[in-house]
Amino acid sequence: MSDLKRLWFQIAIVFFFLTSIAGLFLRLLPFLDNFNNKYHYGILQSHSHTGFLGWVFIALYAFLIETFGKKELIYKKKTVGILMILTVLLLGIYISFPFNGYGFFSITFLSLFLLFSYYTLVYFYKNIDSEYKNTLIKKFILAGIIFYFISSIGPWALAPIIAAGYKKSNLYYDTIFLYLHFLYNGFITFSIIALFLNKFKEEINKSFSRKRYFHYSFITLLIGTILSYSESLLWHNPPFYVHLIAIISSFLILISVFYLFKSIKGLKNYYNKTENYLIGIVLFLFILKITLQTFQAFPFFSSISYSFKGLFIIGYIHLVTLGFISLFLLFFALINRIIVPNYLFKTGIYLYLTGFVLTETVLFLQGLLLLNSIFILSSIFNLLMVVFSLFLFAGIFFILLGAFRKI
């Protein structure tokens, strides 16, 4: 186990912990009225940007370099320099947003990060090992990188949209959803699939039918992901053809998942009992994510999901980010021995899972209750979210301690 590989992940975990601090503070803001009005928006932006660009981007980038990069790529001075620059820019983003909102300093740090992240992804792609030349895994990686470039249109567009006085408009939310959709359904999901299936690449390549299923999965997922941005537009009652595109895209993604599982069905299980437990949770959350996407494409369910944007949408985003994405990153670090499964890490995982299940339950339950004009949880909702978020915070803290502990 390389100390440098651990360093990449340790820094990512630090940003995960910083994200959890901002998230917990957001839960406390309803109890601090004056402070809430002044700092809520900036802390929210700090929380989301640090979560996606700090925790997820750095961890995922490190895994991509180590797994698919040329031999010793992660040890090169240029790669180490990339980590240092990303860390400085992300700290600037984290610190500036709460006090500056979308102001000069935060926009500067975010713009510099986006520009530099383009360079880092191109640098990685140019240094992918030759064994992946002309493979479907490399196509998944390339598609993911292209989706990252598309997603970054969102942050670039937000500042002029806000400056033009369109904050909280349909355009404002559509731009945010464009960023989120192509980031986690595009770049992150395609990268995760590439990392996960890399373990099975030899068996897949030996079988013509498995290769064919894998190819079908890539094509349908690619088209489905592009078209499924239409689901992000359903909240403001678009024309019927947008609903139709959303329904078609959801079925394409379902077909893609079917072919994906067909391509690896019956292959050798490489994981031990603990690893199987974690990957089982990740796969369950992935299937749940796809299921919710499918339902949301239909007008009846989309109107329900957007009835209380702060509950169903945040619940779904947390399901994807705190559940599917974050647990996969922790799982991948575990099976590659980047994290040693010590008692601190295990304690952190149990606390984290407890907090995740409890907060998701409260978010979706409150949404369903309000939808039916039942206000039984309303008076204690914020208090419950604070208490249950403490489990998430404590879990990430113990995971952080575990990541820095060697035994």
pLDDT in tens, 346-360: 899 999 999 999 999
Distance of alpha carbon 340 from alpha carbon 357, whole angstroms: 25
Quote the pLDDT of residue 306.
Answer: 65
Q: Which of 33-37, 38-42, 241-245 has the lowest mean pLDDT?
A: 33-37
Quote the pLDDT of residue 209.
Answer: 92
| Nearest one of 77, 116, 98, 86 to 19, comparing CA atoms | 98
Phi, psi of 287 (to 5 degrees): -65, -40
Quote the pLDDT of residue 1.
Answer: 41
- % of the chain beyond a pLDDT of 70: 95
283-339 per-position pLDDT tens digit: 999 999 999 888 888 776 777 766 655 688 889 999 999 999 999 999 899 888 888
270-299 per-position pLDDT tens digit: 777 777 788 889 999 999 999 988 888 877
**Helix, strand, coil percent values for the chain (each to nearest 5):** 85, 0, 15
Largest CA distance in the chain: 64
50-75 per-position pLDDT tens digit: 999 999 999 999 999 999 999 889 88
Q: pLDDT band at 185, cuts 50/70/90?
A: very high
State whether residue 301 is helix, strand or coil: helix
Evaluate if residue 251 carries a pLDDT over 70.
yes
Quote the pLDDT of residue 148.
Answer: 97
Other CB atoms within 10 Å distance of the CB of residue 268:
8
Evaluate if residue 267 carries a pLDDT over 80.
no
Q: Which of 2-6, 180-184, 249-253 has the lowest mean pLDDT?
A: 2-6
Quote the pLDDT of residue 221.
Answer: 97
Quote the pLDDT of residue 264.
Answer: 87
Distance of alpha carbon 284 from alpha carbon 269, whole angstroms: 17
Q: pLDDT band at 178, cuts 50/70/90?
A: very high
Please report, as a single letter, which amino acid is at residue 252: L
138-165 per-position pLDDT tens digit: 999 999 999 999 999 999 998 889 888 8
pTM of the model: 0.93
